[in-house]
Chain A
Amino acid sequence: MKRREFLRTTALGIAGTSLVTVFNSHVFAQDSFPDVVWVENGQPKNLLQTAFKEIGGIHRFISKGDIVVVKPNMSWDKSPEYAATTNPELLSELVKMCLNAGAKEVKVFDRTCNNPQRCYKNTQLEEVASAAGANVTQIRKNRFKDKAIPNGEMIKEWPIYEDYLEADKVINLPIAKHHSLSRVTLGMKNLMGVMGGQRGSIHSGFSKKIVDIGSELMPTLTIIDAYRILTRSGPQGGSLDDVKLTKTLIMSPCMVTADCTALNLFDLNLEQVGHLNEAVRRGLNKYDLNNLQIRKLSLS
């Protein structure tokens, strides 16, 4: 081998290896994705698109042919500006993104507190989600299936909506609100909308019971709508004075992490919120909360 050839081969080799490294960083980049994304100062649509870009794209979560359940909060007979229910623009955009990402079907439903027809209509969520291509259905009472909770401390079994259990992917889309009993209602509390049975009985011993059931219902992705938040008289509100325009969106593959991050919106810390504290105590958070990889950005 001539020296020249040797040098060329070596150079090519090094170049090739470095290429592999560059390639590598794309293939195995999951480790460098943030644990949670916090985007603020934008319109719901932009907030969502930016957050997905930062967290690694919707393809990280939705695969072709998936049946996706998107669970907004449409529990109250209130129009969107009262911040009692999920922002319709956000839901609409999310449904579209899921379908564009190849989802076979996007299902939207909620077991409401007020009359279901009124809630579906007046929150505007049924209309926008259907227009975006989602399958919006009323809860059918025969479709709750008892879900065993082997690790439950107070609850060992609870009826859960079948569509939720059977979905390939679940995106939890709560709105951030004040709540007298649990201090705040975020991702974990939003899952009450897929629970059957006598939900009121969850209220006594709330922290333990909600974490018992929630631990079996962990969604693929949690997106907290904090475009408008309700700061008091929650979870129902009804007065515009209690609504704060925060123009924020929080996204994380870990529901507990997303919820804990969202406490900053209300100037609360973990010790003040019983059910989240309980969830962390049981280690339901995927990421280390003391060393959180949080990507925070502000759109102009």
Chain B
Amino acid sequence: MAKTRRVFQILFLLFFVVLFINARYPYSGSLPSDIFLRFSPLIPLFDFIQNLRISLLFWPALIILVLTVFLGRIFCGWICPLGTTLDITSCFIKSPPNKKALRFQKLRSLKFIVLFALMALAIFSIHLWGFLDPLSIFNRVLTVVFYPFATLAVETGMLATSEISFLEEPTYWLYDQFKAIIMPENQAFLHQVFWVALFVGGILAMEKLSRRFWCRNICPAGAFLGLLSQFRFYERIVGDACPVCNKCQTECKMNAIPEGDLKKTSKIECIESFNCGINCPPKISAITYRWRWKPYRSKPDYSRRHFVQTAFGSVAALGLISIGLKNRSQKHQTIRPPGAVEEDLFLDRCIRCMECVRMCQSNGACLQPGGIHSSLLELWAPVAVMRTGYCEFNCSLCGEVCPTDAILPLPLEVKQLTPMGLAYFDKDICIPYAQNTDCLVCEEHCPTTPEKAIQFQIKEAVLKDGSTSLVKYPYVTKELCIGCGICENKCPLPGAPGVYVTRENEKRLDPVSLREESA
């Protein structure tokens, strides 16, 4: 069983990686990348809290939830790519034995506190669960940390090798293959890479405290699945031959077998990895499994005291978030992708999985995981940063891959008329205004049709030496500008741009108005 489980783990890991890689231009075909999130056990729960419905859209998660009731936390042990990553990590960094990790045993209750606190906050319409959802975390780290890192290693490595004359031809051949099939995107430069790396690095580093430390103690999805798995429909039988070598207990990933009683398993903690069976000494093989419901109840490590802690914790979080930073002066900087729903709802729906950021990297590369500009809740929600990229006029893929409809899937012709913001000229530095000489790079790139949003006037300028010259002065027409930011991106000024986009004039859609727009 443990071997089968490992095969499943690898297959699911590859599946999620393939979905991730597939999320890029041209993104046509039968494999929708956003289905990865539909596997998350948390999504039906929080969708229910938010919308009071059980959506069949999340069928993979619903199937997992139903299976969990009868098979236990198979998601954690067999499917979850973050769990698999943690297993791989612990091979390298040598987790301590369970006996040593016993001192963290009381932290198990933390995951329930986390889950219930997230639910409480969700009821008060603050949705933070996405930060801690394992699938969201996995996608986030691939997008923000791993993939840019891999691009850097491959690109610089290969380009450096190509400088060696006799390796030039083969290296370029390899490079072209690689660019064509695996990594067509340019190097990504993402703002929050350090913090995301720290976040995920922390989760991985906790393997040094115990195996699956994250899954044992923190993961809200694990807590939810644990609570569901009371009716597990198989049991582990420990035969009379058992020499009480305790190997099943010490090798258990989750420390789910209590030390004194090897015949018992905590149904709540067990992730069905079947490590106990494979670790039972082969000549004895005292552990067998069979299909039968063994009616006993595993109690979650969640007491009345923990409930009080949860209540205090969530009230405190709710209050702190509500009274936290509200900085109006930077609000205009958080430009959202085209098709984003109204801001509060957007922040509620967005689970920071970075799927849109990933997609954008193979297009205009404007989307970035945002920092905190005008409110604490904005952390890691996608913002368009025009100086690093711009919104590609013929692309509406970010909405197409958003798994929670925080960004609505706009038809291209609707997207091309939906402003994300408005461009302004900074006439103090814009070349024609400041230097009385032609430039018009912004006008050249302005993509709106049938008229460009950036037009120009020809006026006579008096130069320093007293002579006059005709200069083309650009200006923005508000009614035409969609805030795509290609003007800001291509502005040849070396530092601050002479034309920049603000959030003013942005148009947020809701599904109803979208339907009207499309019609």
Contacts and interface: CB of A to CB of B under 8 A. Distances in A.
Interface of A: 77, 113-115, 117-118, 121-122, 137-138, 140-142, 179-181, 198-201, 203-206, 233, 235-239, 241-242
Nearest to A181: B440
Contacts of B492: 198-201, 203-204
Q: 7 closest Cβ contacts across the A-B interface? A: A200-B492, A238-B449, A239-B450, A200-B441, A181-B440, A201-B492, A142-B159
Nearest to A179: B444
Given A114-B392, A115-B392, A140-B159, 6 more contacts: A77-B393, A141-B159, A181-B438, A181-B439, A181-B443, A203-B441
B25 A204 contact: no
Interface residues of B, number: 41
B392 A118 contact: yes
Contacts of B440: 180-181, 203
A233 B449 contact: yes
Main DSSP-derived SS at the B contact region? loop
Contact of A203 (B159, B365, B439, B449): B439
A138 B175 CA distance: 11
B311 interface: no
B269 to A, nearest CB: 47
A136 B419 CA distance: 36
B232 interface: no
B503 interface: no
Interface in B398-423: none
A236 B442 CA distance: 12
A238 B450 contact: yes
Contacts of B395: 115, 118
Contacts of A242: 450
B364 A204 contact: no
Nearest to A121: B26
- From B435, B447, B448, name the one whose CB has the most chain A CB atoms within 10 angstroms: B447
A230 to B, nearest CB: 12
Nearest to A135: B176
Contacts of B452: 233
B168 to A, nearest CB: 11
B437 interface: yes
Interface string B446-469: 111111100010000000000000
A204 B492 CA distance: 10
B184 A236 contact: no
Given A115-B392, A181-B472, A205 B437 contact: yes
Nearest to A79: B394
A55 B446 CA distance: 39
Interface string B169-190: 0001001100100001000000
Nearest to B451: A233
Nearest to A137: B176
B162 interface: yes
B490 interface: yes
B439 to A, nearest CB: 5
Contact of A233 (B364, B437, B450): B450
A210 to B, nearest CB: 12
Contacts of A199: 492
B276 interface: no
Contacts of A198: 492, 494
7 contacts: A122-B394, A142-B159, A203-B444, A204-B439, A233-B452, A235-B444, A238-B449
B437 to A, nearest CB: 5
Contact of B394 (A77, A113, A181, A205): A77
Contacts of B26: 117, 121
Contact of B490 (A138, A200, A233, A238): A200
Nearest to A207: B438
Contacts of A137: 176
B362 interface: yes
B491 interface: yes
A277 to B, nearest CB: 14
